[in-house]
Amino acid sequence: MQNFTFHNPTKIIFGKNTIGQLGGEAKPYGKKAILVYGQGAIKKNGVYEQAVASLKSAGIEFVEYSGVRANPVLSHTREGIRLAKSEKADFIAAVGGGSVIDEAKAICAGACESHDVWDFYTGQATPERALPLVAVLTVAATGTEMNGGTVITNEETKEKFGWGNPILAPKVSILDPTTTFSIGAAYTAYAAVDSVTHLLEGYFTSNDPNTILQDRYVEGVVRSIIDVTETMIQKPDDYEARATFMWAATLAWNSISPCGIGAWSTPNHLIGHSMSALFDTPHGASLSIALSGWLPWYTEQGAAQVRQLAQLGKAVFDITESSPNHAAESTIEALRNWFRRIKSPTKLADINVDASGMEAIAENVEMSTPHWRLPDYNKARVINILKRCR
């Protein structure tokens, strides 16, 4: 096990009828907020009304800033920062999914600086401070509700970059699983894939045989997510399935699972980000494609990798084949079959990307590799990986 530091001060309020706590929880952070949200879905399911009523009853004045896109973009973020500055906001209240909270984090940091917010994403600047953030999460998936990470896309340069800093972590996040009842089948599936990918990228980041505790943690959360995803799709208002997934998605990416595994080495989010930056592919959809190709490529790297796949298959899919190679193959196929059952794509053709598109993705990955500090994912290797998608 490698040395690590873990520090996650976000307060989580989880369960039914919890959005009414927003105002009271936000009050310590000031009197004036920018209320950031997306395309208006929260006005259809009652979340907007609950959040606004709670802020008002706590005496908090706020200015609305809506229109955050599913892959949030730099131009809209810059506009939000201008608003936060001109309104002299004390804090940001974000109500929505991962995109809304990610953009809100950028506004929190950018509102305290005079330079362009993209400088944080390129690593040219590090924030000393940020406005406090309180959040109501309405789409479980990215884990942003309980970490200091943020990812946005620069539309001009076609770069989807991320960065993290503990000061960006929400002070409090409210998670009411009933708010996710209205998420459709496709995005429910993509959310599950996103969370599973967070976990598996850590699982495969090293071959250290002494991360048994981390391995068991990942296996347990992955298995739980797979156990409930089809129920969520078939019965969108199944509270227990939605609740299990919502908490699982947080536990998948709140910095616990990577403790002790060393520096990140897996490229699936990187490949997915390039796909999204070029083709606006939904984040989760890009990840099932990436994993579908990367896992077989990874398995070819050695016996230790094969054993890892076999171990995962046993823990998550009850695969008990005695040959490690066969077990590894069955594990990959079981995962792909899960993607297919929940209708998350497994190959580029599923999202209408052809060979030239594959080249463009691989070039974008190569360009982005230094930003994500990942080893050895050049154009040729990425094409090699993407050709294995099926």
Residue 43 has, within 13 A of its CA and on its CB side, a CA count of 8
Give the chain's end-to-end CA distance (angstroms, integer).
35
Residue 116 has, within 13 A of its CA and on its CB side, a CA count of 10
Pairing of strands 159-164, 149-154: antiparallel
CB of 173 to a second copy, least distance (A): 10
DSSP class of 159: E
Give CA–CA dist 244/267, Å, rounded.
Answer: 27
CB of 239 to a second copy, least distance (A): 8
Find tokens 């998608």 and name the residue: 389
Q: Is 263 in the site for a second copy (CB under 8 A)?
A: no
Nearest to a second copy of 3, 114 (CB atom)? 3
Q: Is 247 in the site for a second copy (CB under 8 A)?
A: yes
Cβ partners under 8 Å of residue 318, min gap 6 = none
CB of 299 to a second copy, least distance (A): 24
User: Residues 85, 223, 387, 388: which binds a second copy (CB under 8 A)?
Assistant: 223
Q: Is 271 in the site for a second copy (CB under 8 A)?
A: no
Q: Is 28 in the site for a second copy (CB under 8 A)?
A: no
Q: Please, which residues bridge with residue 150 across strands? A: 163
Nearest to a second copy of 173, 276 (CB atom)? 173
Q: Is 203 in the site for a second copy (CB under 8 A)?
A: no
User: Residues 228, 261, 328, 382: which binds a second copy (CB under 8 A)?
Assistant: 228
Q: Is 15 in the site for a second copy (CB under 8 A)?
A: yes
User: Residues 111, 134, 243, 361: which binds a second copy (CB under 8 A)?
Assistant: 243
Axis crossing angle, helix 379-386 with helix 268-279, rounded to the nearest 10 = 90
What the block records as the tokens of 23 is 């105002």
> Which amino acid is it at 374?
L
**# binding residues, a second copy (CB under 8 A):** 38
User: Residues 75, 213, 237, 263: which binds a second copy (CB under 8 A)?
Assistant: 213
What the block records as the tokens of 174 is 């409210």
What the block records as the tokens of 368 is 């982005």
Give CA–CA dist 365/385, Å, rounded.
Answer: 12
Q: Is 237 in the site for a second copy (CB under 8 A)?
A: no
Using the rule CB under 8 A, give the single segment among 51-59, 113-121, 126-134, 239-247 that binds a second copy.
Answer: 239-247
Using the rule CB under 8 A, give the single segment among 150-158, 213-221, 261-269, 291-299 that binds a second copy.
Answer: 213-221
The SS3 call for residue 73 is: strand
Q: Is 262 in the site for a second copy (CB under 8 A)?
A: no
Positions that interact with a second copy (CB under 8 A): 1-16, 18, 210, 212-213, 216-217, 219-221, 223-224, 227-228, 240, 243-244, 247-248, 251, 256, 259-260
